[in-house]
Amino acid sequence: CIASVQGTQFILQVITRLQQTNERESLQGWGKDLSKKHLLIAEGKTVRVGASILSHFRFSSSIFQQYLYKQMGDSERILLHGDVAAILEELYRGKEHEILYELARHYDLALMPEQAIHYLYMAGKEALFLGAYTEARLQLQRAAELLAELLDQDDIKKLEVDVWFYLSHAVRAIEGWNA
C-alpha cells in the first residue's frame, strides 16, 4: 500500500497524485471502507496549505503500516520515497519549513543525497534554534555522513563547513565545552 511509505500518518492527496486518481472518489473509499468498515485507518485533521486542502489519515496500528511497507521491494520503496518527497515539496511549496523532517527522511530513503542533505541541514538548524539539541545533532550528523560520500564535489564544500559548524554547536550544547 502506497500510504505506508509516508509512515504511520499520511496525506491522501499524496496518494491520489501518485496513483493519478480522483481525490473525491478516493476520499469516499478511504473513509468508508478502510476507516469505518475495516478500522485499519483513522481520519485525522484536514488542513489548508496554500491553495491545497490536505486530508490527513493515520494507520490504526503501526504494525499494520510496517507490514504493508515491508510487502514492497527495496526498489519500489526507493522510487516511492522520491515520488512522495517531490509531491510533498509541490504541495508545501513556499511552506517547506513545515515538513523539513519528512522531506529529509523521504529524500534520504530515496537515495537522493543532495536533496536529503539540504533538508537535513535545514531541519538540524531549526532544531538547534529551538533548543532541541539531540534532534539537531541527529539531523546534522546524518547530513555530515551524506556529505562525506559527496566530498569530491566543490559546490558542497561551503555546505559541509556550515553543517559541521552547526553540528558542533549541537554537540557542545549536549555535552558541554569538553566535547
pLDDT 10s digits, 50-88: 888 999 999 999 999 999 999 999 999 999 999 999 999
Cell of 129: 534554534
Confidence band, pLDDT 50/70/90 cuts, at residue 177: confident
Rounded to 5 degrees, what are φ and ψ at 138?
A: -60, -45
pLDDT higher than 50, residue 13: yes
* Mean pLDDT of the residues in the chain: 89
pTM over 0.75: yes
Whether the per-residue pLDDT at 154 is higher than 80: the answer is: no
Q: CB–CB of 24/31 below 8 Å?
A: no
Question: Is residue 25 pLDDT above 80, yes or no?
Answer: no
pLDDT of the residue at 30:
60
In the chain, how long is the greatest CA-to-CA distance? 59
Q: How many CB atoms lie within 10 A of CB 157?
A: 11
DSSP string, the chain: -THHHH-SEEEHHHHHHHHT--HHHHHHHIIIIIIIIS-SEEEEEEEEETTEEEEEEEES-HHHHHHHHHTS-HHHHHHHHHHHHHHHHHHTTT-GGGGHHHHHHHHHHTT-HHHHHHHHHHHHHHHHHTT-HHHHHHHHHHHHHHHHHTTT-GGGHHHHHHHHHHHHHHHHHHH-TT-
